[in-house]
Amino acid sequence: MNHKVIRHLVILAVIALAGLMTVQIVWFKQAYDLQQRQFSEKANSALHFTAQQLNRTQGQHPLVNQTAANTFRVQINGCLNEDSLPLQLQKAFMQFGTAGDYDVVVNDCGDKNRLLNYNYKLLVDSNKLFAHNNQQEEPCYYLSVTFNNKPKTLMQAMWFWVFASVCCLLVLVFFAYSLYALLKEKRLSEMKQDFVSNMTHELKTPIANIAVASEMLKHPPLSMTTEKVQHYADIIQKENKRLEVQVERVLTMAFLEEKNLDLQYEKVNLHQLLDDALSGFALRVQQRGGRIQWHCKAEQPTIEADKFHVLNVIYGLLDNADKYSPSQPDITLETENTPKGLRLTVADKGIGIIKEAQKLIFEKFYRVPTGNVHNVKGFGLGLTYVKMIVEAHGGKIKVESEPNVGSRFSVYFNG
């Protein structure tokens, strides 16, 4: 499936899911508003019914006011019985379908004193009055009811809509994860294709050189001298070593992934390893008109490590600095002791790494886009190998980089 088809499928899927979520949100809000109106109508009806039963003047139509989102008040002109009022309200609310947790407050219409206060579930009276009011010629009270946890009550009544919304959200999460997995798999596939292409090129070159040299040795011309025989033998040996290094790198990655790499720990002088690495690498940089600077600031350069793999880490960082320096590489190495051990820094003034790519450079097969630099060879395993070896030693690696300025890799080893 090509990039264009995948892009169109993703866009259409996003639009479809966005539309579905929008419709779901609008429907849910409308359903919630409807439940609120129905709840208010039921509460009004229940209080209106209760007030009609308690009013002294039969046939009177008491007015119910909604003073807050969850509070309703009605005026009652009649004698109240504080013992029977909770039962009357409970029956009215159950009859009209508004049963739930609520607080009841009764105030005197005249002096606005609170005469009764209780919670439906607790039924705890704060006062037991009405005796003096029962003797009044025109008793008047305000009965207020406040519904607690009204949103929860409404949501319980909307269980189907809540279930549908949760299902829709799960579909969205599943789609987002699937899209992420698809794009990740697509990127991994592209990197694997790039890896196969680069590996094929890296292996074909030494194989071709070995074939040519072997053919010359098998069928030597009459004019071939001993020096030429030695030259062709050196080519075969050199290219064979090159093949061995490439295969060893791939096999090492496989061992690391399976956690089967057997590290041989010993006392290692990092300065000595750097000297060994630079003895051969410096010539490669000098041939390009570049330079390597080395600042040994570490007073205690000894660490417990696998000499072979740490040396490969140094080679990997130097190789990376050289490959991504378009011309005349300027590489700086520095060692320094830290409170926990030793830090090795390899800095260059090459093309740098964009911020988005800095999080990906240690992933297997990933290669940073190099713009106009098309001659950078590799498998996309170098920095992956470096990170895995460093972490296998209990250390860590950090990168700081800026495009067109350079990169700085810091490796931390435990002492």
Apex 315 CA angle, 269 and 386, nearest 5 = 90
State residue 58's pLDDT score: 59
**How far is CA 406 from each of CA 229, 294, 368, rounded to the nearest angstrom?**
44, 17, 14
Residue 41 and residue 33 in contact, taking contact as beta carbons nearer than 8 Å: no
What are the phi and psi torsion angles at 414 (to 5°)? -75, 140
Are the CB atoms for 149 and 101 separated by under 8 Å? yes
Domains 160-257 and 265-414 share a fold: no
**Helices 159-218 & 226-257 angle (0-180, nearest 10):** 160
Number of residues assigned to the chain = 415
Local structure of 369: helix, strand or coil: coil
Closest by CA position to 293, among listed 337, 323, 329, 343: 329
Tokens of 407: 């990169």
The reported pLDDT for the residue numbered 356 is 82
What does the DSSP 8-state code read for residue 74?
Answer: E
Token representation of residue 129: 């009055």
Residue 244, φ and ψ in degrees, nearest 5: -60, -40
Write the DSSP assignment of 33-65 as a string of letters.
HHHHHHHHHHHHHHHHHHHHHH-SSTT--PPEE
**370 — phi, psi (to 5°)?**
-110, 15
**Total Cβ atoms within 10 A of residue 370:** 14
Say which residues have a Cβ less than 8 Å from residue 76's Cβ, sequence separation at least 6. Answer: 51, 54, 55, 62, 140, 141, 142, 143
The CATH number of 160-257, from 1.10.287.130, 1.10.1040.10, 1.10.3720.10, 3.90.1150.10, is: 1.10.287.130
CA 403/CA 355 separation, integer angstroms: 9
Judge whether 328 and 292 are in contact, CB under 8 Å: no
Nearest residue to 290 via CA among 348, 369, 353: 348
The pLDDT value given to residue 388: 85
Q: Which two tokens stand for residue 201?
A: 């090129």
Question: Domain extents for the chain?
Answer: 13-157, 160-257, 265-414
CA angle 264, 266, 272 (to 5 degrees): 115
pLDDT profile of the chain (415 residues), mean per 10: 70 80 84 85 86 70 82 82 79 81 82 75 52 53 84 76 81 81 74 66 73 80 76 80 69 60 86 85 81 89 89 87 85 91 92 84 69 48 82 91 91 86
Residue of 85, 91, 62, 88 lying closest to 133 (CA atoms): 85
> What is the spatial distance between Cα 97 and Cα 77, in angstroms, rounded to a whole number?
25
Structure tokens belonging to residue 97: 């379908």
Going by C-alpha positions, the residue among 221, 245, 192 that lies closest to residue 380 is: 192
DSSP code at position 365: T
Distance CA 129, CA 50 (A): 20
Assess contact for 141 and 130: CB atoms under 8 A.
Answer: no
Model pTM greater than 0.75? no
CB 338 within 8 A of CB 398: no
* C-alpha angle 71-104-79 in degrees, rounded to nearest 5: 115
Task: Report the CATH number of the 265-414 domain.
Answer: 3.30.565.10
